[in-house]
Amino acid sequence: MKMELRPVGQTDLSVTSLSFGASSIGNMGQVVSEQATTDVLAHAWRAGIRYFDTAPHYGRGLSETRLGRYLSTKPRDEFVLSTKVGRVLFPGPALEEADGFMNPLPNAVRYDYSADGIMESFEGSCKRLGTSNVEILFVHDIGDITHGAEEGHRHFEDLMGSGFQALKDLKQSGRVQAIGLGVNETQVCLDVMEQETLDVILLAGRLTLLDRQAEENLLAKCKDQGTSLVLGGIFNSGILATGPKPGAWFDYAPASEAVLEKVRALEERAQNSGLSLAEASVQFALLHPAACSVLLGTGKVSSLQRNMDAAVLDLDGPALEFVTT
């Protein structure tokens, strides 16, 4: 499938079917040099990617700063930006590592999903990105998986009590064109959608070749509301890219034997259909009817190109059947 523009929910906004996920250039897990950052972003741009996603969480502002610096050389009306709210950054100590990101910017962080917190987070992101507007604004990591039940409930109340109105106000003002959630769990999406309408959800790891939790209830709800999905984490922390080798990671931790066995079966089916496991994983996400874009997140040109090569395969017969059923 070639690069195409797809609509975002019921909005007038469209995004490229492949997008660049900028967590890696926030030094996720390893340091990415300034030159490597420029190289991978330039490669994405040359390939036709025009949707870039980031967040304050990624290197405590480092990803946003780097992405903003690169995109400052491009016409503002030629690309789509998304970032996230829920974490507010403020000056803090220099650290070697924070939240899995190496050499982050010297910022501290607090969670705040209230209207005031969302506005403070948004304005900080705009400053780091060098822009006054962001096309898509996601509420980041709201839910019990990140916060636990007690804190999760408090943050949810803040979001539904005042925070969501701030999102709608930003959309009405034109500084944001689409609003949604950026999460790696499905239940909180359903909880929010019981009270509010979402334009788009960035769903990480819950609609993949391996993990199809979103199929249980969320896809039907999205169809009812006209909500699009941006699919992230399509390799489930790596195992769908590396295969079921010893030490492979699933969902941010070493994979269990049960997961390894499931991936072995998927890999065999992929190979029997003429695809590698990674190619099948990319195609599954890209061909899913609910997806408006598929995030490719890496700090390496070679990895980005490999995933883009997988995305442009023309499938038919057993291969197409495997990734669409």
Helix then strand count (H, E) for the chain reads 12, 16
pLDDT at 65: 98
Average pLDDT on 288-317 reads 96
Q: How far apart are CA 17 and CA 33, in angstroms?
A: 27
Q: How far apart are CA 230 and CA 294, in angstroms?
A: 6
CA angle 18, 283, 271 (to 5 degrees): 145
What mean pLDDT value characterizes the chain? 97
Q: Is the dihedral of CA 1, 273, 208, 256 positive or negative?
A: negative
pLDDT at 1: 62
| 253 strand-pairing partners | 250
Is 0.85 topped by the overall pTM? yes
**Segments making up each domain of the chain, as ranges:** 5-323
Q: Is 209 helix (H, G, I), strand (E, B) or coil?
A: coil
DSSP 255: P
* Percentage of the chain lying above the pLDDT 90 cut: 98
Per DSSP, the residues of 271-321 read: HHTT--HHHHHHHHHHT-TTEEEEEE--S-HHHHHHHHHHHT----HHHHH
pLDDT in tens, 12-47: 999 999 999 999 999 999 999 999 999 999 999 999
Average pLDDT on 93-101 reads 96
pLDDT in tens, 49-74: 999 999 999 999 999 999 999 999 99
Confidence of residue 252 (pLDDT cuts 50, 70, 90): confident
* Percentage of the chain lying above the pLDDT 70 cut: 100
Average pLDDT on 82-95 reads 98
Distance (Å) of CA 95 to CA 102, 106, 127: 8, 7, 22
CA angle 59, 62, 66 (to 5 degrees): 145
| 200 strand-pairing partners | 180, 228
Contact 29, 298 (CB under 8 A): no
pLDDT at 306: 96
pLDDT in tens, 194-247: 999 999 999 999 999 999 999 999 999 999 999 999 999 999 999 999 999 999
- Per DSSP bridges, beta strands 80-85 and 5-7 are unpaired
Tell whether the model's pLDDT for residue 161 goes beyond 80. Answer: yes
Q: Write out the CATH class of domain 5-323.
A: alpha beta
Average pLDDT on 117-127 reads 98
CB atoms within 10 A of CB 33: 11
pLDDT at 2: 73
pLDDT in tens, 282-296: 999 999 999 999 999
Q: How far apart are CA 94 and CA 62, in angstroms?
A: 13
Write out the catalytic residue numbers: 53, 58, 84
Contact 49, 2 (CB under 8 A): no
